[in-house]
């Protein structure tokens, strides 16, 4: 047979092969087996001259598998495809990618035949990764471009390559090749997942899905994002990262990755699982990810940033000496055009507080600059980047050098003040809690300019104790407890500590009465400003806050100023409360003192309208 194979003229070779393929289905098993032997011999000896005939041969093999019933036919076809791929790998891969979707079970088995030898498997995986990334992942319909309905349709080549990857990865023999290409496979599939969230199947495939697949079709979800998630999971399983896959299973991470609403969290959970169970593989993964920060697809930049940000929440970043590279990667994304990317950058930088708290001081200036810049992000008065900046600052201010914080302290306090009355609960909570943290780090070292902000914030904090949202009221309790020591009045600070402990029931009227007595007794020059601020809340959109405003005003009865020698708690000297001593009368009259502190027009109450104006 070898002599025939070697001497057969090229124009007769393909004719003989096609005849032998027909004989594979011969009911006489001996004839079928003889055909198998001849096919193998011909492909081994002369396969090198068959490159142009590869599509035809693959097509004939697929047809024969669908027609014939013999058990021996599938192994024979698999071996033929394997022999052909060892000589014309790219042509075989391209021909198999032309198979219709969803893949039938026979085509799936032909893909798996390409994984039996590690070197060939690595070559096939590399080609499939190239095919998956070469074409655009989806096309936008005219309706989507006109803003009518979100209609992004998957392109066929990347979808086919993803399905083929899954079949190759399902073969245990592919393990060594997967380990060799682990970083490229992981990153490419994570990017594939991110850019297929919400992407639909082409209409012809949607119709097939609705009709239901035939028994001969491989039982797999063809939906673009789900197929990518399944393939990414297969990479983890085949590479020995079973613990990562199982952690994602238990936490619902795979389901989150599939959805628009949960995708960021899914990427973060994947990062946590990788940090905990596959840390040694992260350096090469990050090296591969370094090339993706300029991706043209916004979803991909969001996914990668969420993944990187979460890694900083673990000490693995420091243990593997990845900290500097992670910080550099996030810094490169600070000016991204996508607000979600900028928000996630700030989250990642703040995660340093929990992942590597001992490294925060060394990177303090960089972290504070990024957070303070986030407070001024864009023109949106309720920018999610600003919210993330406030949450991040609250985690970092206790860990940075006091000198680094002092230079930006006043700007932060002024910038967050309008958010106290934001219509959005998350902004009220974050800004007020951050104000409390700023006061906490200033205990014993509160400068005059910051003390003015403390004094200006007293009335809003006291009134928002009646906020309809429990989280906001809780933040006010914390902030007032932290403000107390900076007011240099032991009685007032003690009252805050006594009445405003978390979990303790608050009798608001009694507490307000006690607080106002201390304020009138020790800080009579503040009353004008407090009254002016209270007038603003008479038209608050929050009923309980609106009701508290006149109650607060009524408690502020004017008293004769006690002689300094009779005061049990000395009022801070003029240089300690500059606005209180020098601007109270102006504030009461709505003059410059009021303008300096940003006191709103009493005709406009806090809430949706006032909040928008204050943040603009």
Per-residue model confidence as pLDDT tens digits over 397-449: 999 998 889 888 999 999 999 999 999 999 999 999 999 999 999 887 777 77
**pLDDT mean over 537-556:** 88
| 297 backbone dihedrals φ, ψ, rounded to 5° | -95, 120
**pLDDT mean over 14-40:** 80
**pLDDT mean over 337-352:** 96
Q: Which of 157-161, 179-183, 467-471, 578-582 has the lowest mean pLDDT?
A: 578-582
pLDDT of 143 reads: 61
- Of 133-137, 229-233, 550-554, the range with the highest mean pLDDT is 229-233
Which residue would you say has higher pLDDT here, 39 or 369? Answer: 369
pLDDT of 602 reads: 38
In sequence order, what are the residues at sequence separation of 6 or more whose Cβ sits closer than 8 angstroms to the Cβ of residue 448? 575, 576, 577, 578
How confident is residue 72, by pLDDT bands cut at 50, 70 and 90? confident
How confident is residue 524, by pLDDT bands cut at 50, 70 and 90? confident
Q: Which of 58-67, 301-310, 335-344, 439-448 has the lowest mean pLDDT?
A: 439-448
pLDDT of 558 reads: 47
Specify burial of residue 547 (Cβ count, 10 A radius: 0-12, 13-18, 19+).
middle
How confident is residue 150, by pLDDT bands cut at 50, 70 and 90? low
How confident is residue 588, by pLDDT bands cut at 50, 70 and 90? very low
CA angle 36, 37, 39 (to 5 degrees): 65
pLDDT of 16 reads: 80
How confident is residue 191, by pLDDT bands cut at 50, 70 and 90? very high
pLDDT of 603 reads: 40
Is the pLDDT at 294 greater than 90? The verdict is no
Other C-beta atoms closer than 10 Å to the C-beta of 379 total 7
How confident is residue 613, by pLDDT bands cut at 50, 70 and 90? very low
β-sheet bridge partners, residue 104:
217
Q: Which of 161-170, 289-298, 392-401, 507-516 has the lowest mean pLDDT?
A: 289-298
Q: What is the CA radius of gyration of the chain?
A: 34
Is the pLDDT at 586 greater than 60? The verdict is no
Closest CA to 386 of 396, 377, 399: 377
d(C-alpha 385, C-alpha 377), whole Å:
6
Which residue would you say has higher pLDDT here, 599 or 105? Answer: 105
d(C-alpha 238, C-alpha 526), whole Å:
70
Tokens standing for residue 108 = 């799936």
Whole-Å CA distances, 403 to 364, 375, 395, 398, 434? 10, 20, 17, 12, 18
Closest CA to 64 of 74, 52, 53: 74
């Amino acid at each position: 047979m070898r002599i025939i194979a070697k001497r057969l003229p090229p124009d007769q070779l393909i004719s003989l092969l096609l005849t032998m393929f027909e004989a594979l289905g011969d009911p006489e098993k001996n004839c079928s087996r003889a055909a198998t032997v001849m096919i193998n011999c011909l492909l081994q000896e002369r396969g090198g001259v068959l490159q142009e005939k590869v599509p035809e041969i693959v097509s004939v093999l697929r047809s024969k598998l669908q027609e014939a019933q013999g058990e021996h036919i599938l192994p024979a076809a698999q071996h033929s495809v394997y022999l052909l791929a060892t000589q014309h790998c790219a042509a075989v891969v391209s021909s198999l990618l032309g198979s219709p979707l969803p893949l039938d079970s026979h085509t799936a088995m032909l893909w798996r035949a390409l994984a039996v030898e590690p070197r060939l498997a690595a070559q096939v995986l590399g080609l499939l990764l190239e095919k998956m990334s070469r074409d655009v992942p989806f096309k936008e319909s005219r309706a989507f471009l006109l803003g009518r309905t979100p209609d992004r349709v998957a392109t066929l080549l990347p979808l086919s390559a993803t399905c083929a990857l899954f079949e190759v990865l399902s073969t245990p023999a592919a393990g060594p090749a997967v380990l060799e290409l682990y970083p490229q496979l992981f990153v490419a599939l994570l990017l594939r997942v991110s850019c297929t969230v919400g992407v639909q199947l082409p209409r012809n495939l949607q119709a097939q899905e609705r009709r239901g697949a035939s028994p001969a079709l491989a039982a797999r979800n063809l939906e673009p994002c789900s197929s990518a998630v399944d393939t990414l999971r297969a990479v983890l399983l085949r590479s020995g990262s079973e613990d990562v896959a199982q952690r994602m299973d238990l936490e619902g991470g795979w389901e989150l990755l599939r959805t628009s609403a949960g995708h960021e969290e899914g990427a973060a959970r994947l990062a946590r699982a990788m940090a905990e169970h596959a840390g040694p593989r992260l350096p090469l993964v990050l090296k591969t990810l370094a090339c993706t920060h300029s991706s043209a697809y916004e979803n991909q930049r969001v996914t990668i940033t969420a993944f990187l940000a979460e890694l900083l929440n673990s000490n693995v970043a420091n243990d593997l000496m990845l900290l500097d590279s992670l910080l550099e990667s996030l810094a490169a994304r600070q000016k991204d055009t996508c607000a979600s990317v900028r928000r996630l950058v700030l989250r990642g930088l703040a995660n340093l507080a929990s992942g590597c708290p001992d490294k925060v001081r060394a990177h303090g200036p960089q972290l504070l600059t990024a957070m303070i810049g986030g407070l001024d992000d864009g023109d949106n008065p309720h920018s999610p980047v600003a919210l993330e900046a406030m949450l991040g600052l609250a985690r970092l201010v206790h860990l940075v050098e006091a000198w680094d914080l002092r230079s930006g302290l006043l700007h932060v306090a002024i910038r967050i003040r309008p958010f106290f009355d934001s219509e959005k609960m998350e902004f009220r909570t974050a800004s007020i809690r951050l104000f409390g943290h700023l006061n906490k780090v200033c205990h014993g070292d509160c400068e005059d300019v910051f003390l003015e902000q403390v004094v200006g914030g007293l009335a809003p904090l006291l009134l928002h104790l009646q906020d309809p949202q429990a989280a906001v009221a809780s933040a006010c309790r914390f902030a007032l407890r932290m403000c107390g020591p900076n007011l240099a009045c032991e009685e007032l600070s003690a009252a805050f500590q006594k009445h405003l402990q978390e979990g303790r029931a608050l009798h608001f009227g009694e507490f307000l009465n006690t607080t106002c007595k201390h304020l009138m007794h020790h800080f009579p020059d503040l009353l004008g400003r407090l009254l002016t601020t209270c007038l603003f809340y008479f038209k608050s959109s929050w009923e309980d806050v609106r009701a508290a405003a006149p109650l607060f005003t009524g408690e502020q009865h004017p008293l004769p100023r006690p002689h300094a020698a009779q005061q049990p708690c000395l009022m801070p000297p003029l240089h300690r409360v500059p606005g209180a001593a020098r601007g109270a009368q102006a504030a009461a009259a709505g003059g410059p003192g009021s303008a300096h502190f940003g006191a709103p027009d009493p005709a406009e109450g806090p809430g949706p309208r006032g909040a928008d104006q204050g943040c603009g």
